[in-house]
Amino acid sequence: MAHRPAYDSFGRSSERAPLRARFATRDRERSRSWIHGYVVRLAWTDAAIVLGAVFAGQFARFGAENALAPNGAAQVPATAVSIGLAVGWLLSLRAFQTLDRRIVGSGSQEYSRVVTACLALFGALAMVDLLFRLNIARGFIAIALPVGTAGLLLSRWLWRQWLGHRRLHSENVEHVLVVGSEASAVPMMERLLRQPHLGYRVVGICLPSRAGKPKSVSVGAGKVPVYGTFDDVCESVLESGATTVAVTSAEALGNDAMQALSWDLEGLDVDMMVSPGVTDVAGPRVMVRPVAGLPLLHIDKPRYEGANRFRKALVDRIGAALLLIVLAPILLVVAVAIKIDSEGPVFYRATRVGLNNAPFAMWKFRSMVHNADDLKDDLRAGNEASGVLFKIRDDPRVTRVGAFIRRYSLDEIPQLINVIGGTMSLVGPRPPLPDEVERYDGRVARRMLVKPGMTGLWQVSGRSDLSWEESVRLDLSYVENWSIMQDALILWRTARAVVTKDGAY
């Protein structure tokens, strides 16, 4: 009688399963090796930049022939000071965990830790120098600090570009096995699918119950295979080659099962992530605290007042003033072009709603015919936007010059006047129209807790190509996780989005 292979309860050959598991395990080990190599490259790059910045400062201050020149009250040779500074700098970077593999490659926390480590080191040096009257050459440190900090940030950004490129080609990624119900797992999988540069590739899912279990789950335009139930997670890890397990239904597993799963995954060298069920809240607002033996997620209230608001306002006004000075020639050229191209005023002052629902007049270069608002009702049928937005890709009201300045966002430069005046910020939610705000529900209304911005997450994530729901989600995410470092990253990404003309019309 011919040998008939045995099959498990999921319809898979049990004889082939061990072979698949061996290949999956080998693939998992190979896929995990990239993170070690990436962190090592970052470490060597940090060392090279720190040494370069320190000795560049020494050269600028003392020259090439005075490397052993006495420095400070202790008469320590300049080279010895440079070596000590470089060692201390590298130790500071390690102390602030700038190479933590959980934060390198994505998010603003990596940049924030680098900046904090640099400022902490030089702040400590300044206090020691003042307290003990060492009189170490301040010009030397004044050169090394900005050069080194900028170099470290630039190197991290360049490494991210390299990593993102590889991830788009399915290399250097974490293979994620999702554990949870379809209702909780599909939204997470859809977000990971939309952002492949984050480096998470979903390889499968484990559902709560075996009864009526499908062979796959639809996610976007594709399907994710179902490997088993909550009781089969470890076997599914081996079979799928997963490097990370993401739990989206922790309450369904229960406390004991979650603890046992974490122990089992530790033995398999697999990371475990747990979704708290709170979307778009991250960063310093989130902290895990043990209470009665249970790890509870503590979420602080968003902090919009006090020192945070003062720092943001200071950066806004100084930045806007400098940008107006630098962009003055462009402003003049655009104003002349608008006046020659069509009848009407150069500027268009649109009523928008700002902080705490206060209306204000927003400055823009006029990009449409002078009676564009009167023609809006006639074009309602051609509206291509969703929700309360009104957008038409080939809007007949747009002038020739208007189409050009919209493409490069030049029409928005006069909003710098609003920033200086305090009604807008450089970064924030999209400034809404009054009729849009009238239709906001309680959730969307949280956008009005901060000033609207010239740019924001909506600007660097698709601009006019975004749906209403996605635009709202990004605005709320910004409001919930507002920080100076996030603003800096958004401004950087805005420059790239404007140059590439992504989603502008």
pLDDT, tens digit, for every residue of 128-137?
A: 777 766 666 5
Query: Which position has the higher pLDDT, 358 or 497?
Result: 358
Residues of the chain with CATH 3.40.50.720: 173-275
Q: What is the pTM of this model?
A: 0.68
Gyration radius from the chain CA atoms? 28
Q: Which residue type does 22 have?
A: R
CATH fold group of domain 173-275: Rossmann fold (3.40.50)
Instruction: Compute the distance between CA of residue 339 and CA of residue 337 in angstroms, rounded to an integer.
Output: 5
Helices of type H across 135-254 = 138-168, 182-194, 233-240, 250-253
Averaged confidence pLDDT in the chain: 80
pLDDT tier at 20 (50, 70, 90 boundaries)? very low
Query: Any idea which residue has 């038409």 for tokens?
Result: 392
Q: Tell me the angle at which helices 138-168 and 78-95 cross, rounded to the nearest 10 degrees.
A: 40
Contact 454, 490 (CB under 8 A): no
Instruction: Compute the distance between CA of residue 80 and CA of residue 235 in angstroms, rounded to an integer.
Output: 57
pLDDT, tens digit, for every residue of 187-206?
A: 889 888 888 888 899 999 99
Kind of pairing between the strands at 347-353 and 359-365? antiparallel
pLDDT, tens digit, for every residue of 322-340?
A: 999 999 999 999 999 999 9
Instruction: Compute the distance between CA of residue 230 and CA of residue 179 in angstroms, rounded to an integer.
Output: 7
pLDDT, tens digit, for every residue of 77-114?
A: 767 778 888 999 999 999 999 999 888 887 778 998 99
pLDDT tier at 16 (50, 70, 90 boundaries)? very low
Instruction: Compute the distance between CA of residue 215 and CA of residue 235 in angstroms, rounded to an integer.
Output: 16
Query: Which position has the higher pLDDT, 502 or 330?
Result: 330
Instruction: Compute the distance between CA of residue 363 and CA of residue 416 in angstroms, rounded to an integer.
Output: 8
What are the distances in angstroms from CA 103 to CA 74, 111, 283, 374, 479?
A: 40, 9, 11, 51, 22
Which residues lie closer than 8 Å to 51 by C-beta, 6 or more apart?
A: 86
